[in-house]
Structure 1
Amino acid sequence: MKLDSTTRFWLASFAVGSVMTAFAIVGLTVGLQQQQPALEIPVNATASTWSETMCAATGRVDEEVEGLFTLDSLTGDLQCSVLNGRTTKFAGLFRTNVLQDLGVDAAKKPTYMILTGAASFPGQGGNTRPGDCVVYVIDATTGRFVVYGVPWQRTLAARGAPQQGALILLDSGTARNVMLREP
């Protein structure tokens, strides 16, 4: 049986198209198998905000827990409420008052700022060591600042047990080299 030129053209086109499709499928399959896995990028977000009477900041206290630091500008009370990532409940409460540590007079209406920073403290024996973040408190009026750690107990956290205590004063300093005169 002899095929006319039109039939031969369509058969050849079909054959070439089939071969090209097969190469495309093989290429895609090989390419997808050799593709590098997506890079994991750890994300650690913190935030801080303030009003005339209250400051707040967040920071990661441990692998699965986040701390909410609040500072009452009227009283100088600083606290950290720790949210457990597994139970989505508050699992810790740590407190202190910053007035004495900053050496400020509450009657003179200090203006506070707070922010958190990541920290990695070496094990010092025992179970309690500062958490993975610190909180800085700054009195914008005097320029004095302090930094506190959270005495986080990882074994209590692993059991889901609540914990509480005093924030640990780590250090203090001043950001202003000159004294401002009071009005």
Structure 2
Amino acid sequence: MVDQPQQADQRSFVRRRAVPLLAAATLTSIFVAAYFAGQTHALRQANQATTAQAAASGADLPSGLKLPTLDATAAFSSEKFSMATGFVSANAEGLFVLDHNSGLLQCSVMYPRLGQFLGLFVVNVHDALGTGKGAEYMMMTGLVDMPSSNSNPLASSVVYVLNTTTGMYACYYIPFNRTMMNSNKPQQGNLVLLATGSADPVVDRDAIR
């Protein structure tokens, strides 16, 4: 009879000691699991960053695989001037500058081999868009796919000019000669008016019926 209370006390003591030990073991397991999960996440992020950097630089790509490229042009207008860029060939870019006061539009082309502006094409946009006090303009370039030849040279871009006062706009193409550029020969000429339009046209309802 005396042994039974002693055994009961021993079992109660073991239970009281086992509960904290089990709790400590559980917490330790949680911390260890969280630590390794965090390390795995950090390694995954590092690998993703490395892969992104390699993709951006084009390194370590499978043979025959090329990333797509983006060819962009830019345009900007201020109170007195408008400026834009556009490709005149696969290897050269044109710089378009418009003087709002005089209406003079210039396209300067840099020859990449020489690093010099050796192509110059000009036109006065007032002839097509009119002029007036306080006239303001916007300008941008676009791609064109028209046949060209040595007798009829044509750049890869056209330039659009908008008179924001009247809403009239015009499109010009550049008679750029790639053969002369490849021969490092300077060239100049006039920008050629391709078409005109209006941002606020009068709709002929009878014509569209």
Q: Please give the range of the TM-score, normalised by the shorter of the 2 chains.
A: 0.7 to 0.9
| Matched residue, 2:197 | 173
CA displacement 1:8-27 (0-9 Å, x = unmatched): xxxxxxxxxxxxxxxxxxxx
- SS of residue matched to 2:182: helix
Unmatched segments (≥5 aa) in structure 2: 1-60, 203-209
Give the strand-richer structure, 1 or 2: 1
How many pairs are equivalent? 143
Kindly state the Cα deviation for residue 40 of structure 1 after the two structures are TM-superposed: 4.3
- Distance, in Å, in 1 between the alignment partners of 2:201 and 2:173 is 26
| Matched residue, 1:25 | none
What does 1:1-183 align with in structure 2 at a 5 Å threshold? Answer: 35-102=62-129, 104-106=130-132, 108-123=133-148, 125-177=149-201
CA displacement 1:150-171 (0-9 Å, x = unmatched): 1011211110111000001001
- Distance, in Å, in 2 between the alignment partners of 1:43 and 1:151 is 25
- Distance, in Å, in 2 between the alignment partners of 1:132 and 1:162 is 18
Q: TM-score, normalised by structure 1?
A: 0.72
Q: Is the 8 A contact 2:77 2:138 kept in 1?
A: yes
Amino acid of the structure 2 residue aligned with 1:112: Y
- Distance, in Å, in 2 between the alignment partners of 1:99 and 1:84 is 29
Kindly state the Cα deviation for residue 120 of structure 1 after the two structures are TM-superposed: 1.9
Give the helix-richer structure, 1 or 2: 2
Q: TM-score, normalised by structure 2?
A: 0.64
Superposed CA RMSD in Å reads: 1.9
- Distance, in Å, in 2 between the alignment partners of 1:41 and 1:75 is 41
CA displacement 1:131-181 (0-9 Å, x = unmatched): 000000000111100000110112111101110000010010001136xxx
Q: Which stretch shifts more, 114-123 or 164-173?
A: 114-123
Q: Is the 8 A contact 2:150 2:177 kept in 1?
A: no
Answer with 1 or 2: which has the greater Rg: 2
- Distance, in Å, in 2 between the alignment partners of 1:85 and 1:41 is 23
Amino acid of the structure 1 residue aligned with 2:70: V
- Distance, in Å, in 1 between the alignment partners of 2:183 and 2:121 is 18
Identity %: 39
- SS of residue matched to 2:200: coil
Amino acid of the structure 2 residue aligned with 1:60: F
- SS of residue matched to 2:181: helix
- Distance, in Å, in 1 between the alignment partners of 2:191 and 2:69 is 27
Relative distance call for 1:35 and 1:131 in structure 2 (3 A) is closer
Kindly state the Cα deviation for residue 37 of structure 1 after the two structures are TM-superposed: 3.4
CA displacement 1:41-88 (0-9 Å, x = unmatched): 243110000110000000000111110000000110000000112222
